[in-house]
Amino acid sequence: MRDFAKTLKNKFRSKQYFTKHPQRGYLPVQSVLEAESTETPCSSPKLPHADTHSRIEHYASRYVAYCNTSNHFTST
């Protein structure tokens, strides 16, 4: 409900409001060594839905691979 109210309020704001109040996002600072050791990809602030869906697809495929190797879905 809160997101809906925020979206509705933003629809009625003027163009001047957004030029004075730019969006701020979290950009993590990484060193070269940290960037090589991370396993999860950094999320893209411009395409959050596409990134979320690709992560869910990745986790689902890993889960299916785990279930296939540990014989969770074998019928008796």
Quote the pLDDT of residue 61: 92
CA gap 51, 53 in Å, rounded:
5
Buried-state track 9-18, b at ≥16 Cβ within 10 A, e below 16: eeeeeeeeee
- Residues 11-66: tens digit of each pLDDT: 778 878 877 777 766 666 665 555 555 555 555 555 566 788 888 999 999 998 88
Is the predicted pLDDT of residue 68 greater than 80, yes or no? yes
User: pTM for the complete prediction?
Assistant: 0.32
